[in-house]
Amino acid sequence: MPSSTEPARATSRWVDALRDTGHLVAFRARTVRRRGAAIAGAGVVLLLTLVFAVGPADIDAGGAAGDVLDTLVDALSGNVGAAMAATLLLSILSATSSGGGREMLSRSEASVHPVSPRVEHLGALALAPLNLAWLIQVWGLLAVVALVTTGDARLGAQVVVVTWVFAATALGQAVGWAVEGVRRTPHGVLVVRATGVALALVVGALHLTGRLRPVVDALPTTWLAGAMQDDRWPLAALGLLALAVTAVAVGGVPAAWALGLPPREELRVQSGVHEARPVPEPRWGSVDRTLLRRLDRGSVWRSVGMRRGLMVLGIGPGLVALVAGLEWGTVLLLPGLTASGAALLFGVNAWCLDGKGMVWRETLPVSAADVFDVRALVVAECMAVVSGVTIVLALLRNGLPPLTTGVAVAACWLVVVVQVLAIAMTWSIRSPYSVDLSSPRATPAPHAAMAGYAGRLSLVTTLTAMLFTGLAALPWAWVPAAAALPFLAWSTHRLLRARRRWLVGEQRARVVLTVAAV
Amino acid sequence: MSHTPAVVVRDLHVRFGDVEAVSGVDLTADSGRATALLGRNGAGKSTTMKVLAGVVPPTSGAVTVAGHDAATDALGVKRAVGYCPDVGGLVPRATPWEHLQLSARLRRMGDWEERGRDLLERFELGDVAHRVVGGFSHGMSRRLSVVLAALHEPAVLLLDEPFDGVDPLGVEATLEVVADARARGACVLLSTHLRDLALEACGEAVVLRGGNRVAAMQAADLTGEAYRALLD
């Protein structure tokens, strides 16, 4: 029979966990290098959140634009419930692909401290918003709700949205830990992969048989979408708040289970055997470059986190384009976002692929230019592949686009890949970090820096994509191609500037010693 | 006939921002000899080694390694040197064999496989030649770093803390590598905190303190008391 003191003990444990999480957050905050920039960045995010929550409500278009807006509002009104369900799906995918969620301290740093699974769980929850996909999803949801609600109902509806985001994040985290727990059991990786494929097939089958929409409409989120717009919103908000608190508390159980098991997939990869391959005979370029490229590609694809992240980024948005039948105007936004996501896996701190081996790499008799070019190529490959998969899946769904749209898509794809590459390589040399990417929960830079990187990349690529969306509506196919030229010229200039900095011995030594932490 | 030492360091200064890691080190090391570089933590041993390996450029001073100026010909230095860094030194998701393959090919070595296999066996790494090094213990990583430094039979062998965390068999194998290098006329510089092993491996010793050289002597003269007096 449970003791009467049990609930008190449980409460005390959560209070301790909250206090410890606070200590870790404070520790992390104290190690932020550019405090002013971090505070300004947080301010911009809050401001943007406010703009998305309020701004669309004030759009007052007349004439033809007003008709377009009315049509858009009508279309969005019926999709608020689906958008809310998508937020939950994204939270689950994010927590699942990152091995339960981001870590406050790296595994080696945390190993000497008494950090409990509850603290790991709360830390992962606290870090969930520092994620490009999470922010975009939240901003999108706030903007849609601001557009489709009217007058007095708007404030209540946005309160429901905010509580739903909390609840969805906590639920996603709990599911993420549970999936990570299964993944760490014998044959767990196989079970998770098979379940993922089965779920994708079920969704595909539902879509092909025309039942997906009714299923989505039958979800409780549809009720929420209705309730938030009338006087039931306080009830909905309170219910969601209770759900969020429950999900946070319940999530501690799978977190403790998962973190108590050995990380089989990582251990398997870390002790992986790769038989010797002959020295490659390059079709173009030198043997030196080919060998360096092979080493760099191995560093990417032999990492659990990067491999999983690239697969999710490549297939996830593409599947949405395939299933939801996104129009080309929307598809144009995706390559920039997926390329940014790929850069955020390691490209923003590209030299961290070598870890402590960076010092040894630097003793090899190979030109610094070759080293830079090969690393930039491998970063570009990852971005091009994941964004390319999205476009190919959209092509499968939509068929060949009209000429101007096709040129705009190709030009936009090329522009955003080169743009993100130039930015990422610049950051890699300007602000290198020593990180251990052996865990899928690790990030290539501290969390505050990652949030800044995510915000800036998403802003730049989204604005670029919006420009090309506008150009795609013009009757001249040469315009998007011509518009790409100044973008490419500027990004190439930035990339070459980063390369020149890398070629300076002192700059390179600073990067090497920082990344290797010696 | 003039005799040029393999390593010549004159008034070396290395500055990282506001910190001067090395402030005026002078050092010479001859071919066919092993010199121990000793000193407390932060004495500037590892930074000096990194300059000699072509990883860190000197802020000022003259550094010549096997006839190559470290400030202007870092690539030439890298070709002449075999370097075992003090920490890590391995790409985490590559195998030992991939490390050896890259190092050998970039140095244009023809038949390197047999020597590579032999070195791995001597350091008891033959069984894990194709395993990703991310899962290696500290001692295994140190042993592999020594193998990588010695693979191409460099004119200058730089070993920074090669005995750190290494078991007795690994220590023996490292001492053999040092002896082999000396026998074929290479210059060996070995940095360590372990005075006894330094004396066993090297004929000469240089002691650094606070980024400066405070003594250079025959290793046999560096008694425990003398060493301790130089450190304080």
Distance from CA of B223 to the nearest CA of A (A): 30
Cβ contact (<8 Å) for A364 and B106? yes
**How far apart are alpha carbons A297 and A375 in whole angstroms?**
9
Cβ contact (<8 Å) for A356 and B131? no
What ipTM score was computed for the predicted complex, to two decimals?
Answer: 0.88
Which among B65, B78, B91 is the top mutation candidate for probing chain A, defined by the most A β-carbons within 10 Å of its own β-carbon?
B91
Which residue from B75, B88, B98 is facing A516, i.e. has the nearest CB? B88
Ramachandran bin of A142, using left for φ above 0, alpha for ψ from -120 to 50, beta for the remaining angles: alpha
User: Does residue A268 sit at the B interface (CB-CB below 8 Å)?
Assistant: no
Q: Which residue has the higher pLDDT, A247 or A45?
A: A247
**How far apart are alpha carbons B25 and B14 in whole angstroms?**
10
Q: Find which of A135-139, A186-190, B26-30, B157-161 is predicted with most confidence, using mean pLDDT.
A: B157-161
**How far apart are alpha carbons A199 and A205 in whole angstroms?**
10
Residues of B with CB under 8 A from a CB of A: 16, 46, 50, 53-57, 74-75, 78-79, 81, 83, 85-95, 97-99, 101-103, 105-107, 129-132, 134-135, 145, 148
**DSSP-assigned letters across all residues of chain B:** -----SEEEEEEEEEETTEEEEEEEEEEE-TT-EEEEEE-TTSSHHHHHHHHTTSS--SEEEEEETTEETTT-HHHHHHHEEEE-SS--S-TTS-HHHHHHHHHHHTT-SS-HHHHHHHHHHTT-GGGTTB-GGG--HHHHHHHHHHHHHTT--SEEEEESTTTT--HHHHHHHHHHHHHHHHTT-EEEEE-S-HHHHHHH-SEEEEEETTEEEEEEEGGG--HHHHHHHH-
Which chain A residue has its CA at the smallest distance from B134's CA?
A270
User: Does residue A516 sit at the B interface (CB-CB below 8 Å)?
Assistant: yes
Of chain A, the percentage scoring pLDDT greater than 90 comes to 45
Which residue from B54, B130, B134 is facing A276, i.e. has the nearest CB? B130
**Domains of chain B, CATH where assigned:** 7-231 (3.40.50.300)
Which chain B residue has its CA at the smallest distance from A299's CA?
B93
Q: Which two tokens stand for residue A379?
A: 């970063």
Cβ contact (<8 Å) for A357 and B90? yes
Cβ contact (<8 Å) for B135 and A291? no
Residues of chain B contacting A512 with CB distance shorter than 8 Å = 55
**How far apart are alpha carbons A94 and A109 in whole angstroms?**
23
Which chain B residue has its CA at the smallest distance from A436's CA?
B92
* Residue B232: predicted pLDDT: 73
- Contacts of residue A427, defined as CB under 8 A and 6 or more positions apart, other chains included, come to A348, A349, A453
**DSSP-assigned letters across all residues of A154-188:** HHHHHHHHHHHHHHHHHHHHHHHHHHHHHHTSTTH
Alpha-carbon Rg for chain A, nearest whole angstrom, is: 24
Which chain B residue has its CA at the smallest distance from A291's CA?
B102
A130-149 residues touching B, CB cutoff 8 A? none
* Residue B1: predicted pLDDT: 47
Mapped onto helix, strand or coil, the DSSP state of residue A273 is strand
Average pLDDT along chain B: 90
Which residue from A279, A299, A360 is facing B85, i.e. has the nearest CB? A360
User: Does residue A295 sit at the B interface (CB-CB below 8 Å)?
Assistant: yes
pLDDT tens for B112-168 read 999 999 999 999 999 999 999 988 999 999 999 999 999 999 999 999 999 988 999
Cβ contact (<8 Å) for A274 and B132? yes
Distance from CA of A51 to the nearest CA of B (A): 42
A4 has a pLDDT exceeding 60: no
- Burial of A229 by CB count in 10 Å (0-12 exposed, 13-18 middle, 19+ buried)? buried
* Residue A330: predicted pLDDT: 82
**DSSP-assigned letters across all residues of A295-334:** HHHHHHHT-HHHHHHHHHHHHHHHHHHHHHT--HHHHTHH
Average pLDDT along chain A: 88
Give the type of residue at A321. A
pLDDT tens for A433-464 read 998 888 888 889 988 888 889 888 988 998 99
**How far apart are alpha carbons B190 and B196 in whole angstroms?**
13
Across A104-114, average pLDDT: 79
Task: Kindly report the pTM of this predicted structure.
Answer: 0.86
Which residue from A271, A294, A436 is facing B135, i.e. has the nearest CB? A271
Cβ contact (<8 Å) for A362 and B97? no
User: Does residue A512 sit at the B interface (CB-CB below 8 Å)?
Assistant: yes
Cβ contact (<8 Å) for A356 and B87? yes
Q: For residue A486, give the DSSP letter.
A: H
Across A370-388, average pLDDT: 95
Which among A279, A301, A364, A502 is the top mutation candidate for probing chain B, defined by the most B β-carbons within 10 Å of its own β-carbon?
A364
Residues of chain B contacting A302 with CB distance shorter than 8 Å = 93, 132
> Confidence band (pLDDT; 50, 70, 90) for B42?
confident
Using an 8 Å Cβ cutoff, are A103 and A21 in contact?
Answer: no
Residues of chain A contacting B79 with CB distance shorter than 8 Å = 365
pLDDT tens for A461-494 read 989 999 999 998 888 989 999 999 999 999 999 9
Q: How far is CA A155 from CA A52, A159, A164, A229, B111, in A?
A: 13, 6, 14, 9, 75
Which chain B residue has its CA at the smallest distance from A367's CA?
B75
Distance from CA of A306 to the nearest CA of B (A): 12
User: Which segment of A6-10, A262-266, A337-341, B114-118 scores lowest on mean pLDDT?
Assistant: A6-10
Paired with B83 in beta bridges are B158
Residues of chain A contacting B132 with CB distance shorter than 8 Å = 269-274, 302
